[in-house]
Amino acid sequence: MKKIILVSFVLSTIMACTNQNPLLTEQNTPYGVPAFDKVKIEHYMPAFEKAIAENKAEIEAIVNNPEAPTFANTIEALDRSGELLDKVVGVFFNVLEADGNDEMNKIAEEVTPLLSELSDGIILNDALFQRVKAVYEQRETLGLNDEQMRLLTETFKSFANNGANLPEEKKARLKEINQELGLLSLLFGSNVVAETNAYQLFITDEAELKGLPESAKAAAKEEAVAAGRPDAWLFTPKRTSFTPVLQYCENRDLRKELLMAYTTRGNHDNENDNKDIIVRTMQLRVEKAQLFGYTNPADYILADCMAKDAKTVDAFLESVWEPSLKAAKREAAELQKLLSEDLPGEKLQPWDWWFYTEKLREAKYDLNEEELKPYFELNNVRNGAFQLAHELFGINFEKLEGMPVYNPEVEVFKVTYADGSLVGILYTDYFPRAGKRPGAWMNNICNQYVDANGVDHRPVIINVGNFNKPTQGNPSLLSMDDVETLFHEFGHALHGLLSKATYKSLAGTNTPRDFVELPSQFMENYCYHPQIMKTYAFHYQTGEVMPDELIEKINRASTFNEGFVMTELLSASILDMDYHKMTTTDAFDVNAFEEASMKNMQMIPEIITRYRSTFYNHIFTTGYAAGYYSYTWSAVLDADAFAAFVETGDILNPEVAKRYLHLLEQGGTRDAQELYLEFRGKPADPKHLLEKKGF
């Protein structure tokens, strides 16, 4: 009797917890956004467990449907399954990346194998695949529209490309590989965050900071005060902290110290070292590719991209690498002359590049980036991006107060069409914190899709960055690179917000990896155009718009240092491809592998590749494996797309904007190449990128 009472008590407690869990119950929130303010650590695992169980039940219902397989009862039903899980994943992993902690990391380690098991349980379910296959084989007789045909084709390919056709023993091994890869990815990312947070350099003698702008010193002083050292200035491997030092500080040793702290993260033979993780990751990726009959991971991954295979990517990278490297060598020679004037007999080093670049920029163009920052106040720049979207696409942005957020620094905006109908909700989270991973990104919190009742669920999108925090008396002032980053990530946000797909798996940014960067990089073309700068480049103290002569200086210098920018970017792309062209599962030395890659591409020693292996989150955690080339591939598209406007004499040409808006709205509902040809009327011409870069 006591046992029965105890069991009843436990069950009632579980039910009570479930009923009170904001991730599992309908919350009365504006626009249906997640109740971030009510979600607590203890809510996540029960929510995951229930959502996973519910998704499994949905799949079983599809598999056990006694009716013959149809598009509606199999393909549509599959796409519409997992709604609760999407909600839980959308909240948890966004918060984990932007505001995580040790407790959330532990939950991630616990839940990742469960999610991998669920995914494999769906994709490797033979009975489910047979239903998908049966519908696919009838596709020409079903009278499907273009989007339905795309969903059917992509669903079948997803099953086939992820193991549905493998024999049972290989399926079992694939499940093991996927689970281990998921955990390795989590561990890699958390190690990078831990390494970034672990390093602190306190400077107590202000003389060591000679040349550093007062704004950068003020930020470093506030960091030190927050760390309990009001007697010092604190510097870390976060870009907002060390970049001003590289640009302006005359202390060469300090520049070296901070650059090395940044570029050696995850490479210190300690508990946060990522070298063994990289080796194991690549062993598993090679094994996985070979399970599918591919020689290397690159060919396996690229089969579903625009490029199709490693050979095509290699040829593309080689075509842009040569002019980029030549330009970088010319730039290095100019910088060496400046260095030699200061330090006769010394050779230019990576920690000298940014410092002497600023000197050269000022000498050549009379342009000092510190002179520009007062005109790049964060809110004004964001408003400029909003205004640009309004001019191009007729949409409006309204800041919402009192919205549920996971951190007080997060802001929320309602996005509407001209008629007042909802486009979506945009969250922005721009400042660094201990629990946030480095970099900038866009993510879906809630997907856009049309449900079975014809209701269009509008998306909830987030833009995340690591820009300068406001200091006492000064707002957040952005660098030129920060401005480009804000416009870039906002371009991704627009791709997600403007989606008009029926099916969630085809909505928004669900496109090939080498197409998804087009909408983001396209927006960068506008940020320093004089016409657009007039809408946001206001001095934060006086309110005056940036003078024409300063805008002219920026545009005259638009191709300055592009050899460095492209060489840094492309070297990381080539390193990525070198990893993913591996054909052996033998162990290897990560540092030696990277060194050999740099030597083979003839990388100049004055430049360090944008991402060293041990903190290369793009290819070891965030889905850009064998895909970092896509930034340059898409750059050809974005330069050509912008040229479509320029050729009309109006960078906001409404007819061209209407065609481009249609491209954004389509998401992944159409073939990427077909979509671009429809917009442009012809293939992208690489000459526009080369002209843009000054090559």
Residues that are catalytic? 489
Contact (Cβ atoms closer than 8 angstroms) between residue 351 and residue 246: yes
**CA 527, CA 371: separation in Å to the nearest integer?**
17
**CA 174, CA 123: separation in Å to the nearest integer?**
11
Could you count the other beta carbons within 10 Å of the beta carbon of residue 184? Answer: 20
**CA 412, CA 475: separation in Å to the nearest integer?**
19
Q: In b/e form, how buried is each residue of 530-566, taking b as 16+ CB within 10 angstroms?
A: eebbebbbbebeeeebbeeebbebbeebeebbbbbbb
Contact (Cβ atoms closer than 8 angstroms) between residue 165 and residue 130: no
What is the chain's percent helix, strand, coil content, to nearest 5?
Answer: 60, 5, 30
Estimate to the nearest angstrom the gap between the alpha carbon of 615 and the chain centroid. Answer: 15
Q: What is the torsional sign of CA 177, 182, 187, 192?
A: positive
HEC profile for 594-632? HHHHHHHCCCCCCCCCCCCHHHCHHHHCCCCCCCCCHHH
H helices within 469-547, ranges in order?
480-497, 513-516, 518-527, 530-533
Contact (Cβ atoms closer than 8 angstroms) between residue 339 and residue 351: no
Residues contacting 532, CB < 8 A, separation 6+: 384, 388, 526, 651
**CA 66, CA 78: separation in Å to the nearest integer?**
16
Candidates 433, 418, 506; CA nearest to 464 is: 433
Q: Are strands 456-457 and 201-203 parallel, antiparallel or unpaired?
A: unpaired
| Residue given tokens 């293939």 in the structure block | 683
The token pair at 542 is 């006086």
Candidates 466, 491, 467; CA nearest to 477 is: 467
Residues contacting 534, CB < 8 A, separation 6+: 545, 546
Residue 589, classified by CB atoms within 10 Å of its CB into exposed (0-12), middle (13-18) or buried (19+), is exposed
